[in-house]
Chains A and B, each alone.
Chain A
Amino acid sequence: MSNWPILSVLIWFPCLGAIIVLLAGSARPHLARWLTLAFSVITFALSLVMLTQYQIGDGGFQLQENLRWIPGINTSYHLGVDGIAVALIVLTTFTSILVIGGAWQVIKDKVHQYMAAMLVLEGLLIGVFCAMDALLFYLFFEAILIPMFFLIGIWGGPRRVYATLKFFIYTFFGSIFFLIGLLYMYHRTGSFDLATLWAFPFTMREQSWLFFSFLIAFAVKTPMVPVHTWLPDAHVEAPTGGSVILAAIMLKVGTYGFIRFSLPIVPDASQHFAWLIILLSLIAIIYIGYVALVQPDMKKLVAYSSIAHMGFVTLGLFIVYMLARGQHDVQTAQLGVQGAVVQMVSHGFVSGALFTCIGVMYDRLHTREIAAYGGLAKVMPWFAAFWVLFAMANCGLPFTSGFVGEFMVILSAFIANPWIALFAAFSLIIGAAYTLWLVKRIVWGAAPSKEAAAMPKLTAREGWVLTAFAVAVLAMGVYPWPLMHLMDSSVAQLVTHLMTSKIG
């Protein structure tokens, strides 16, 4: 086994790529595209190398790198991955390729800047999943905003400036309270290292304050009701690639934060306030589902459905407390967390695919109004097939990835409290309603206009991108075992940690 720092390479290689792409300049857009593709493919390959180096049975943090960083404040450049992080990193590198492929011809203005922003974003996102030092985590967590700011602001739609500022200020607002929480923890423990923070016995009072400082940050990023309003705006104005990255990966950063910070550092407060999160999750699942139902803009519809689906993730994460401590049912508690993580990965694929599809349609008619489309089954049959598949995955049809996560979460919720499960399961119906209605309006029927009837068929490039998404969605739905196996032991460790109270 070699000892080369694969995690650092994964983080900084795309960033290096960004610099090279920037140097390619605006005059040679095609060079910028190919370079970016090459960098993202190599990054993906590297992430697979990491996957092979990762010892699956051992659920601890592996491939660690630890360097002193700012000696004055006891923080370090500490990286490491467990099964959950590995899964999310591979999701990131995989989706990045598809995003870059998807933006191939669509972005015509300042291609090199767009591609560079994408690569930087990829590197920073991987950084978030690798960080084992709280300050380092925060660094990546916040730095993501900068490339995203430019992605939406420069290449976005007509109201992009409003959306960008709203997005930026909302998320900055959230995370800065997180920073206060981090500094407070540092004040108490003298360290930013996650392992120290996990072990440190904070009092209940401290935990409660910390819990809310984390909650604000992660709730905004996830996003949870009632701080979700930036997401539909950001999605609607973002270019396709931005939307895909936003939905597929950036939203996971928030829930990943719950897994790394809220659950293990303040387990008692998390248990105490679990009802709050569960309530907010249920509101997200049901209420936002209804909101999605009435959207005339398909990007908004999918954006709202994302919020509802992320509700499942938070539900799965916090239902654990009703199981692990209330009934000492570790097995089902693990099921909840595992369901949440599966749902994170699955939502990454499904929403990424849906936004890519919307991008494909938008390139042809330049509108996102659902009413402008119709009869795609005849006009673009292959596209229609993909669209139906992803729509089905979105409403959680068995044999698609959407089903696995939702099923696991609902199952664990049922064991905790059948009423919660009932409400959560309602979402399946609402989800089916808005997705099927969307499919009906877009795919079936007659084309509403001449332009809609004459939409060009899928290009080979678009076809490849969608095929890749489809394979991922189906593979996860049919045979989720490798993913579960990958994170099984890590989830088990996490749940064991959660069960131990830090007070008394």
Chain B
Amino acid sequence: MISLNDLLVILPELYLTAAACLVLLFDVFIKDDQRDATHWVAIIVMLVGIFLVIHGQTSQTVTAFGGMFVRDHMAEILKVTVLIATVLMFVMARPWLKDRQLFLGEFYSLSIFSVLGVMFLVSAGSLITVYLGLELFTLPAFALVALNRESKLSSEAAIKFFVLGALASGLLLFGMSLIYGATGTLDLQAIFAAAGTTAHPHLLQFGLVFLVVGIGFEFGAVPFHMWLPDVYEGAPTPIAMYISAVPKLAAVGLAYRLLEVGLGPLAHDWRMMLAIMAALSLVVGNVVAIAQANLKRMLAYSTISHMGFVFLGLANPTPEGYSSALFYAVCFALMETVAFGVILALARKGFECEMIDDLKGLNRRSPWFAGMMAISMFSLAGIPPLWGFAAKVLVLKAAIDGGMLWLAIVAIICSIIGLFYYLRVVKVMYFDVPAEGVEPLAPKSDFTLRWLLSINALGLIAMIGFSGVLYAWCQAAFG
């Protein structure tokens, strides 16, 4: 029986479901030139969502629907970050969408549905919820990538994303069925209990491999990363921003639920798989990123390498390891929004600001935006005193504590390689002059975009003082 209590536990999700429908309806009844109203309604919806998640937070773990839905600290942190990242996307996307006649109501309702999927995913207590959440989150995302129907590149990216996403969820589903076969249950905690005593350990391990592959797809970790650069490049920039931040947060939740909550007893098996994926992601991501002339592709490969860092934390299956991975994912999402935000601010109709060379001489045109971009690049590179540094220290520490010194050293060497392409962006902005005849870069004067982007970027500096607070939250999530 569904009790009122169950409904209270999923109040934020219920609210967002209703709100997404409302946004959809609302948009139908307004004129096209009043779309700004939808924009603000969507933002208010998200802000109320943040309030509900924070307001309803509990000190202990609460489950609903017979354990299918779990509400704990980790889920709350991920949900809040996902909602914040989405609000950032909404604000930063508006001028860009308007320029291109893409300022559509679907954009908002699809995004909210996708976020809803993430919220279910990170709260999953059963394989069914995991799968439902994953589908609810990816299907709108496929549509969002194809938002620009006119663009061949977008359609191609959407198809790739869709096919590979379908493949990934198929693999995940197959793995889940094997695990069900081995343990006879879909409930993650029951799987945990059965995993140690199952009569079919090999079946279970076989299923585990498929789960890890599915998780690898979600993260975009090597060797399951092929879709990521194409999707980044082809998707409309605001959607690329969404895809760079939100799914990574979802993936951390996914990995924790499946691997720790469900298959914790097999940690010995999956740790090594993650470590190898981490090493590959770090090497491939960083090395290939150097060769990219396209800024979005470069960010895509850098994302791959950052996912390697997240795995560094996950490869140490202790509360410290998980909290460092969570911390890293949160930091990463907020760093990516800055980088994409600057791209969004500089792009205008007919000019996407996609190539690294497009940023040439930005410091002469707009020192402020150049500064914001430089902050995000230095932070992504992990240079103190920026936030990315704190995140890197924590995951490296987790890897060393987990006895994987070799992995930490691989990560260190790769981050030196990575430094090169981050610095190139800074170099282009500060040391180069724009080529003759190129229209000067001028950032948009959109008020909300400017302010939010600035707060976001300055937060990357200021947070070093407060990273203790966030880390304490992350620790409490697994404590």
Q: Please report A residues at the B interface, Cβ cutoff 8 Å.
A: 26, 68-73, 110, 113, 135, 138-140, 142-143, 145-146, 149-150, 153-154, 160-161, 164-165, 168-169, 172-173, 176-177, 179-180, 183-184, 186-187
Contacts and interface: CB of A to CB of B under 8 A. Distances in A.
23 contacts: A69-B465, A71-B468, A71-B472, A73-B394, A73-B397, A113-B367, A135-B393, A138-B384, A143-B383, A143-B385, A149-B423, A161-B431, A164-B431, A165-B427, A168-B423, A169-B420, A172-B383, A176-B412, A180-B412, A183-B393, A183-B400, A183-B408, A186-B397
Given A72-B475, A180-B408, A142 B431 contact: no
B397 A142 contact: no
B384 A139 contact: yes
A154 B433 CA distance: 11
B416 A173 contact: yes
B426 interface: yes
Contact of A168 (B389, B419, B472, B474): B419
Q: Which of B378, B384, B393, B474 has the most CB of A within 10 A?
A: B384
A153 B383 contact: no
B400 A184 contact: yes
B469 to A, nearest CB: 9
A113 B363 CA distance: 10
Contact of B471 (A70, A146, A161): A70
A443 to B, nearest CB: 35
A138 B367 CA distance: 28
A126 to B, nearest CB: 14
A139 B389 contact: yes
Contacts of A184: 400, 405
A5 to B, nearest CB: 15
A212 to B, nearest CB: 13
A143 B384 contact: yes
B174 interface: no
B430 interface: yes
Contacts, number: 92
Contact of A146 (B383, B396, B405, B420): B383
A150 B374 CA distance: 11
Interface in B412-427: 412, 415-416, 419-420, 423, 426-427
Interface in B462-479: 464-465, 467-468, 471-472, 474-475
Contacts of A179: 393, 396, 412
Contacts of A145: 383
B330 interface: no
Given A70-B468, A142-B383, A153-B431, A172 B397 contact: no
A68 B468 contact: yes
Interface residues of B, number: 36
Given A113-B367, A150-B430, A142 B384 contact: yes
> Which 9 pairs, one residue from A and one from B, show the smallest C-beta to C-beta distance?
A70-B468, A72-B471, A139-B384, A142-B384, A153-B431, A143-B384, A183-B397, A176-B412, A72-B475
Interface string B443-465: 00000000000000000000011
Contacts of B467: 70
B407 to A, nearest CB: 11
B166 interface: no
A187 B400 CA distance: 7
A176 B400 contact: no
Interface of B: 323, 363, 367, 378, 383-385, 389-390, 393-394, 396-397, 400-401, 405, 408-409, 412, 415-416, 419-420, 423, 426-427, 430-431, 464-465, 467-468, 471-472, 474-475
Given A72-B472, A146-B378, A150-B430, 18 more contacts: A68-B468, A70-B467, A72-B471, A72-B475, A73-B394, A73-B397, A139-B384, A142-B383, A142-B384, A143-B383, A145-B383, A146-B383, A153-B430, A161-B431, A169-B420, A172-B419, A176-B415, A187-B401
B183 to A, nearest CB: 34
Nearest to A76: B468
Contacts of A142: 383-384, 389
Nearest to A112: B367
B463 to A, nearest CB: 11
B27 to A, nearest CB: 42
B396 to A, nearest CB: 5
A113 B370 CA distance: 12
Contacts of B389: 139, 142
Contact of B409 (A68, A73, A180): A180
Nearest to B402: A187
Contacts of B394: 72-73
B166 to A, nearest CB: 39
Contacts of A150: 430
Given A142-B384, A143-B383, A153-B431, A73 B378 contact: no
A153 B396 contact: no
A184 to B, nearest CB: 6
A318 to B, nearest CB: 26
Contact of B468 (A72, A173, A176): A72
Nearest to B390: A70
A69 B468 contact: yes
Nearest to B427: A161
A65 to B, nearest CB: 14
Contacts of A146: 378, 383
Contacts of A69: 465, 468
Contact of B431 (A26, A160, A180): A160
B393 A72 contact: no
B430 A180 contact: no
Contacts of B401: 187
Contacts of B385: 139, 143
Contacts of A138: 384
Contacts of A139: 384-385, 389, 464
Contacts of B465: 69
A150 to B, nearest CB: 6
Contacts of B474: 72
A149 B426 contact: yes
B323 to A, nearest CB: 7
A177 B475 contact: no
A180 B426 CA distance: 26
Contacts of A165: 420, 423, 427
Contacts of A72: 323, 394, 468, 471-472, 474-475
A169 B381 CA distance: 12
Contacts of B420: 165, 169
B397 A187 contact: yes
A154 B427 CA distance: 9
Nearest to B426: A149
